[in-house]
């Protein structure tokens, strides 16, 4: 059970995470990202595939803006899918086959240069969260610099991605890496 303060903190983290996602993937400013969040959009898929009439109900957006946002969302989804597949090249089968590992997560790890269970098990929580939450280039920058220039919004996004599913996945990797050492 969460306190009201914990619930508000979690909600603020989730809002910041979605805002950053929209700003980065749709190449929009904070104002547009905030409008999308306020209107209840939480993913690129929703923007890409919600009926156009629903998006046209947003007062701040005209038809050209709506079409551009939908195109950018679809393009971002295609780019993510291609990058994910590229990231899987050369991956250790034990990592790809780890219980709970999906192709998107494995692809993001691969793009970050994490190709083995041992390399995955060596990641700190914030490193894994950065790989999941941010672009591969930005995640590598932060990991290399030991998070020296991370923004508050980026850290909120990293923390929001480190959920129970991700914790369980990393725990399985730690266990598998330990059993391989024995």
pTM of the model: 0.67
Instruction: Give the 3-state secondary structure of residue 120.
Output: helix
- How do the domains of the chain map onto residue ranges? 11-84, 91-181
d(Cα 2, Cα 160) in Å, to the nearest integer? Answer: 16
| CATH code of the region 11-84 | 1.10.150.20
- Per the CB < 8 A criterion, the answer to whether 94 and 46 are in contact is no
- Per the CB < 8 A criterion, the answer to whether 113 and 140 are in contact is yes
d(Cα 79, Cα 165) in Å, to the nearest integer? Answer: 24
d(Cα 20, Cα 98) in Å, to the nearest integer? Answer: 29
Packing angle of the helix pair 152-161, 4-26 (nearest 10 deg): 110
pLDDT tens across the length of the chain (182 residues): 778 888 888 788 888 888 988 998 999 999 999 999 999 999 999 999 999 999 999 999 999 999 999 999 999 999 888 887 888 889 999 999 999 898 888 999 998 899 999 999 999 989 998 998 888 888 889 999 999 999 888 888 888 888 888 889 999 999 988 887 76
């Amino acid at each position: 059970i969460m306190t009201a303060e914990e619930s508000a903190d979690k909600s603020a983290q989730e809002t910041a995470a979605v805002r950053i996602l929209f700003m980065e993937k749709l190449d929009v400013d904070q104002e547009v990202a905030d409008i999308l969040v306020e209107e209840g959009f939480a993913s690129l898929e929703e923007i890409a595939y919600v009926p156009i009439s629903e998006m046209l109900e947003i007062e701040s957006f005209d038809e050209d803006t709506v079409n551009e946002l939908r195109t950018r969302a679809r393009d971002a989804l295609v780019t993510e899918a291609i990058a994910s597949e590229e990231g899987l090249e050369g991956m250790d089968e034990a990592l790809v086959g780890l219980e709970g590992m999906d192709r998107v997560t494995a692809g993001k790890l691969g793009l970050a240069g994490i190709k083995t269970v041992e390399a995955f098990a060596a990641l700190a929580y914030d490193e894994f969260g950065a790989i999941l939450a941010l672009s591969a280039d930005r995640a590598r920058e932060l990991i290399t610099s030991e998070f020296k220039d991370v923004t508050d919004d980026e850290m909120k996004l990293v923390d929001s991605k480190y959920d129970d599913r991700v914790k369980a996945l990393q725990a399985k990797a730690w266990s598998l890496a330990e059993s391989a050492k024995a």
